[in-house]
Amino acid sequence: MPTKQTSRAIRSFSGDYHFLSNSYHVDILLDGEWYPTVEHAYQAAKTNDPGERDKIRKEKTSSGAKNCGRGVQLRDGWMDNLRVQIMTELVRQKFTSHRELGALLLETGDAELIEGNAYGDVFWGRIFQNGSWVGKNMLGIILMQIREELENE
């Protein structure tokens, strides 16, 4: 179990911090269906097609769900604010419905949460490039926002 962090960054959602990852196995409810990870639910939320959603839900791994999600017919407004709104709702559900995960999130203290990755995602995360971190880190921002909400409960 991680110890409470103060004023430092967590740059990898693996090992002791895998619970921060969207691939962490925890039941997530989306539109009346249960998904095995936030990643599965997020990829399914990209489309309104029930068949595509079902295929994603049944994927054995979060990477399989992500690959499936790349080929779906995107719902209207997805690339606008809708994707961030839905990600926020799913991540919030993860940490409020599963109180043990909420407690672990609180134990990250005031550490900056960075979804560091090597696959080039500079929207949801950051990559280390030319000696510095580059990217929006939207997942990290969402996690820190939800941590603050939990602190204020």
Flag residues of the chain having pLDDT under 50: none
pLDDT, residue 72, reads: 97
pLDDT at 2 (0 to 100): 59
Neighbours of 21 (CB within 10 A): 17
Nearest CA among 135, 46, 116, 78 for reference residue 57: 46
| pLDDT of 111 | 97
Burial of 105 (0-12, 13-18, 19+ CB in 10 A): buried
* pLDDT for the residue numbered 80: 85
- Name beta bridge partners: 128: 133
Q: Residue 97 has what pLDDT?
A: 97
What's the rounded Cα separation, in Å, for the pair 85 and 66? 18
Q: Which domains, ranges and CATH numbers included, belong to the chain?
A: 9-151 (1.10.357.40)
Residue linked to tokens 């911090």: 17
- Name the pTM for this structure: 0.92
